[in-house]
Amino acid sequence: MDAKEISLNEKEVKPVVDLLNDYLANYHIHYQKLRGCHWNIKGQNFFTLHIKFEELYTNAQVTIDEIAERVLTLGKPPHSRFADYISESQIKEIDTIGMKDLDMVEALLDDMSKLIEIEREVMEAADQAGDEGTNDMVNKFMQFKEKTTWMLRSFAGKK
């Protein structure tokens, strides 16, 4: 498949694909952090956060698949090695064992802020390439994270 098969210019779409692969790398690290938080949550907020973290990692898993499939739709292969994810991701791994519940929430809020920043970059590049499909997909992901950020900040007692 080639971008021209869906009426897009290959050269104009290349920055979009590069950003989507960067986004994919960051999302994988975020996903694993969510899993770690889910597995290692302890304390008074266990029941609330255990369920929330599972909801978030399930959503992240679906999102990761959609990002990778969009890269394929644009005619390129998505990154698929953890070595690439770790080296390319701006989001860093953390050890969630023994981490306090609100520190976990704070770490996830930091990730979501970075993902939203990347989403805005992807949408700008997609807009320049006339790639409404990518824009629509990423905008949906960003809206979910914006609302989730508000909820987690409220849960943590932040403004």
Please tell me the predicted confidence (pLDDT) of residue 1. Answer: 63
Given a cut of 90, whether residue 144 has pLDDT beyond it is yes
Q: Which two tokens stand for residue 142?
A: 């960003």
Please tell me the predicted confidence (pLDDT) of residue 2. Answer: 75
Q: Would you list the DSSP string of 104-122?
A: HHHHHHHHHHHHHHHHHHH
Name the pTM for this structure. 0.95
CB 31 within 8 A of CB 98: no
> C-alpha distances in angstroms, 25 versus 83, 87, 118?
10, 9, 11
What average pLDDT is seen over the chain?
A: 96
Confidence of residue 6 (pLDDT cuts 50, 70, 90): confident
- Of residues 104 and 7, the one with the higher pLDDT is 104
Given a cut of 70, whether residue 157 has pLDDT beyond it is yes
Given a cut of 70, whether residue 112 has pLDDT beyond it is yes
Please tell me the predicted confidence (pLDDT) of residue 10. Answer: 84
